[in-house]
Each structure stands twice: as C-alpha cells, then as structure tokens.
Structure 1
C-alpha cells in the first residue's frame, strides 16, 4: 500500500484570489471616495453647515475639517485599496501593488493640473463667456497680440527675466562666499538673517516694501526711502509712479531679489563647501590668486547648482503676479503677463482672451521646464 507524498501547497493554491477581500476593498474605496468628494463639496458650497457664528472660529473649524478629510481620507482610501489588491491573484496582486500606490497620485495631478490646462486651451478658442467658439478660431490670440498693452507687458516680463534671475544668483553667490569666510557662529547667524525673508509671502513682502517706498505729500514722510532722501536734503518722490528707465518696475524687482537671495545663498553655499579641497590647494601651489581660483576652479564645479538656481528663479519670474498686483496693479507701465490675465478675467470678464494669455505664458514656460528636467537628469547621471 503506497502513501501519497505530502508537500507544500501548489502555486495555484498559494496565489488564489480572495473574492471577499476584493469585494470589500472595492466597495470601501468607492464609499471613501464618495465621502471625501462630497465632504469637500459641502465645505465649499455649504460652509454654514459647519459654522458656529464666530467668523474666526468658523474658518478654523473648516480648515481642520479639510485637513481631516484630506489626510484621513487619503490614509483610509489607501488602506481600502491595499485590501483590494491583496485579494487579487498572487502575480496580479504583486504586479499591481506598486501602481496602486502611485496611480492615485497621478490621477490627482491629472485632475488638478492637466485637466485645467486642457480646459484653458479649449477656452482660449471660445468667446468671453465660454459659451461658443469664436470665428475665426484664433481670434482671441490675434486680439492679444494686437493689444498695445500686451506688447508693453511682454517688454516688462523680458526686463524681469533679464534682471531678477541674474541678480539673485550673483548676490546669493556673493553672500555665500562671504559667509563661508566667517566663523561657524557668524556664518550661521548671517545665513539665518539672509534666509528669513523666504518665510514671508509675496503679499506680505509687498506690504513691507510698500511702507519703504511710501510717498506722502508734504514734509512728513513715513516711507523709509523718502525719509532718507529728505534727511540728505533731497525731495521726496512717488517712486512707484516713476516709469522713466523702468525705475518703478526695477523697484518691484528688488522685492523679489530680496525674497529669493536666501534660497540662492543656501544652495550655492552648499555647492561651495562640496568643492574638493585638493583642487583648491593644487591651484594655490600653481600660484593662482584667490580671484582666479574662485572663477576658474570653484565656479566651474558649481555650474550645476548655479543653473538650477537660475532656472528656478527664471520660471518663478515668468509667472510673477502677487507683487505687481499688490504694489501697482499693473499701473504706471509696470504690468506683467499674469496680472494682465487677472485683469482680463476678473475685471473685463473676458474668459476667452484671458485664457489665450495663459496659453501664451504656458507655451513660453514649457521650453524652460524641459531644459530644467533634462538638466536634473544629467546631474543625476553624473553622480
């Protein structure tokens, strides 16, 4: 009499699907998604449901509920999705597990970024209330390019792009070099002071600098700049209305440089410290001056970081809006593309032309983004 050999379960038994987990996981994902979506819709359209009658408290309650819905809902959704994937047959479950964690993120990006971008392109061919397409189909773009204000605005944006990124890199590099020569404590203090403006929003910085540039008729001046001018015997000026040589635009650029120099300094200072000491010693042995060492040895080895800082600030400047809107609202020949879009959409109520302006800005930014991505890939490959 033979006894059948016993052994481990077959692969088929090990990888069998679990219908119960699949059904529970799928149903739970649908339920959680429905609850999160309706929760945010309720916060947006029916805030009175969560109000207690005190404006400040109401906003705090709504913010906390939004955080609970967003964070807690995401955790619960991923937990339910994990149940669903674990219930699938072994190989299929193992194959889908990484994608299960990534795809919701891609879906969110698509919903919040790609879909609005596609819709904006679509609206750029429509009339001002987006109810019908214009004839000819490119009419909104023709109107934008025929607008004298747009031509002037493009000139302002180009001026911003020429001055702000380069100034930020140069000043940030100078501060990084000087801070690197201080004692450890002095370096920490100086870097902390230079980095502090990064904690201020663009609107907050505009308010601060608005007081610096402030002009009052008469002898009494509350603006710091005019107070200094008066103390030196000069006449107070309405600085933000002086468009000669684009002075008012450059005064607005000072605010952005002030905000971004700390960011540039931190990255460039790290790059300086990563320059191998033996290359510096070799240059000194060869008799090179400190100036030559800096420009011919240090800077070339920081090229990647310099490009990163420059391109990042460049992209930010292309979309500059807050400072111009708060300080001048584009008046006195200081307008920029983003503020022109805002005026067309919310003041003129012309969604078609406003969308065309955004599409033009998007097309202008894309080549810079492609360059930045390729630059990052090259840096990663060289490491």
Structure 2
C-alpha cells in the first residue's frame, strides 16, 4: 500500500474511532443510568453527570498510562536488572557500573556545559532579536528568517552545519565557510573544528542555539508587545533613554516569560541527541547523556546500564518540569 494512502487511512480510522467512542459511550451511559423517568431519575442523572467527564477523559488517560507511565516504570525495572543474566535483579549494580565509567562523567560534564551555554545564549539572542525586529520596518521579514531554522529537523541542521565546519586538504578550495574565512584571514592551514577537544562542544552547541533563537524570539516578542504603551510613554516623558526603558521598564515585566523560555530550552538541551549523533557520533570527547544511553542500549546491548542512564536523564528533567507546572498554576491564579 502506498504510504500516502496508508497515512490517510490511519487518520480516517483514528478520527472515526474517537468520534465513535464518544458518541456510543454517551448513548450507553444514558441508557444505563437514565432508561426512563422515575422516582430516582434525578439521582441517576447526577451519577451519569459524574461519570461522563471520566468517560471522555479515558482515552487520554489510557494513552498517558500506556505511552508515558508504563515506559517509565519499565525503564526503572530494567535499570535494576541484568540482561546478561536473563533479567536477574541486581539492585543498583548498573548504576555503580555507570558511575565507574569515564565516558559517563564525560557525558555528564558535556551536558552541564550545554545547560550553561545553550539556554543562556538562545534566550539572550532571542530577546535581542525580538527587541530589534520590533523597531525596524522590515521586522516581520527579519523574524521569518530568524525563525526559519525552527522548521528544520535537528539532523537536517546538523548536516548544514557539518558543511559549515568542513575541512579540505591544505591548498584545496575550502567549501566550509568557517575554514574559508579562517584561511582568508591569514590562517596557516584549515582546521578540523569538530575534532578539537573541549572547543568542539561549543561548535555543536552553536547548532542548537541557531535553532532555538527563533523560538525564544517569537515568545519574547509577544511578551514585549504586551508591555503597556502608557508605561513606556511615561518613561520617555520622564527622560528615560532606550537602554533604561528596556532594562528598567520592559525587562521586569517580561521576566516570567524569560524564565519560561529558559526552562523550556533547558529541557530540550537535557534531551539533546540528534546533533551530537549526526555530527560527531560522540567522538572526540563530545559524548552527552542521551548518546551514552543509546550506545549502551543499542550498541553494547546493555539494557541495564542504558536504562540507568535514561533514569538519570529523567531525574535531571523532572525538577524543571515540576517547577514549570507549579509556576504555570501560580500564574493562572
């Protein structure tokens, strides 16, 4: 069957199934609790009204349990067992083995570097772009260009940037923009940027910063437009310059949005995998936790240590998710 037809049939069956479920479950509920008017009709209707929301929530709850809760508990179980011993319970041995490996600490160190650099730079560049594009006539076009990388997959962006960092033999024409500029500025020989220990991590981070800046710009631009014009006009009347207006008037009013953008990008950084996998495959000291987990699970076939690495990633993400949810609820009150 052609993939397009298969996809269309999947959509039709899925949507029809949901509509059918809601329609027939609603009819069944009415027939069970309200077959006819009688002495207990009011009580039965109340019971039906209590059950009805849960009936409609069931598909979503079932999906969450099947695709979110079950994988978490299964991963936890696997992290406490040994695949080589037919799934025998080994307690925290997988975690001890993981903590004893230098590759794990390399991955953790690199992840912490990504956490310090990428959210900060993406938010700063996004805020700068949001402020500047709102002050020029062709701001909408500029925003479209800056946001465009968000439409590219991480692997696609990695291929683009791999060409930017490309290095050809000395004397040959350089197709990599960075090496072309480096040679033009008087560099001795082209550099293999992705193999430079420590610094190559920053070259990889540039890819995610390039992608996430557009996201930060769009959210922060909307927040800046929400700052009351009366406040800005009052500041101008009082003699405030553009820098004072931005840092003392606008920034305090959008700080909550800045934090939300920062934490959202932080969660993305903790899960980063595609960029490292496509550009260096974790070589030259660029390993991150997600790549370490992948190597253990699918290359070393060690599901115990791989699952333990997955639990570490989840424990790093979880506090940020909880903080985001609590902050969102606080804002809604």
Using the size of structure 1 for normalisation, the TM-score is 0.80
1:162 and 2:116 are equivalent in the alignment: yes
Q: CA deviation at 1:217?
A: 2.0
- Corresponding residue to 1:120 among 75, 86, 90: 75
**Rg larger for:** 1
> What's the offset of the Cα at 1:375?
1.1
Q: Which residue of 1 aligns with 2:326?
A: 374
CA contact 1:128–1:353 (8 Å) conserved in 2: no
Cα distance, 1:129 vs structure 2: 5.0
Partner residue, 1:228: 181
Q: Which runs of 4+ in 1 moved over 6 A?
A: none
Q: 1:94 aligns with which of 49, 72, 77?
A: 49
1:168–1:257 contact (8 Å) kept in structure 2: yes
Q: CA deviation at 1:130?
A: 7.5
- Using the TM superposition, give the Cα deviation of residue 281 of structure 1 relative to its aligned residue in structure 2, in angstroms: 2.3
Pick from 124, 129, 141: which aligns with 2:95? Answer: 141
Q: Secondary structure at the match of 2:57?
A: helix
- Is 2:134 the partner of 1:180? yes
Match of 1:72 in 2: 16
Question: What is the alpha-carbon distance in structure 2 between the residues aligned to residue 86 and residue 194 of structure 1?
Answer: 53
SS at match of 1:333: coil
| Contact 1:304–1:379 (Cα < 8 Å) also in 2 | no
Task: Give the superposition deviation at 1:226.
Answer: 1.5
C-alpha separation between the residues in 1 aligned to 2:237 and 2:181?
49
RMSD: 1.5
In structure 2, the gaps of 5 or more residues are 34-44
**Partner residue of 1:82?**
26
Counting only pairs closer than 5 Å after superposition, residues 191-230 of structure 1 correspond to structure 2 as 191-218=143-170, 219-230=172-183
Contact 1:87 1:93 in 2 (8 A): no
> Could you list the per-position Cα deviations for residues 22-52 of structure 1 after superposition, in whole angstroms to 9, with x for gaps in the alignment?
xxxxxxxxxxxxxxxxxxxxxxxxxxxxx4x
Moved more, 62-71 or 194-203: 62-71
The answer to whether the 8 A contact 1:123-1:130 is kept is no
* Contact 1:129-1:351 at 8 Å conserved across structures: no
**What's the offset of the Cα at 1:67?**
2.5
* Alignment of 1:105 onto 2:49: no
1:255 pairs with 186, 207, 218, which one?
207
Higher relative contact order (CA 8 A, sep 6+): 2
1:54-65 correspondence runs (5 A): 57=2, 59-65=3-9
Once the two structures are superposed, residues 341-370 of structure 1 have per-residue CA deviations (whole angstroms, 9 ceiling, x without a partner) of 000000000000000001111111111111
Structure 2 length normalisation: TM-score?
Answer: 0.92
CA contact (8 A) 1:125 1:138 kept: yes
- Which residue is equivalent to 1:298? 250
Answer yes or no: is 1:316 the counterpart of 2:268: yes
Q: Describe the SS at the equivalent of 1:217.
A: coil
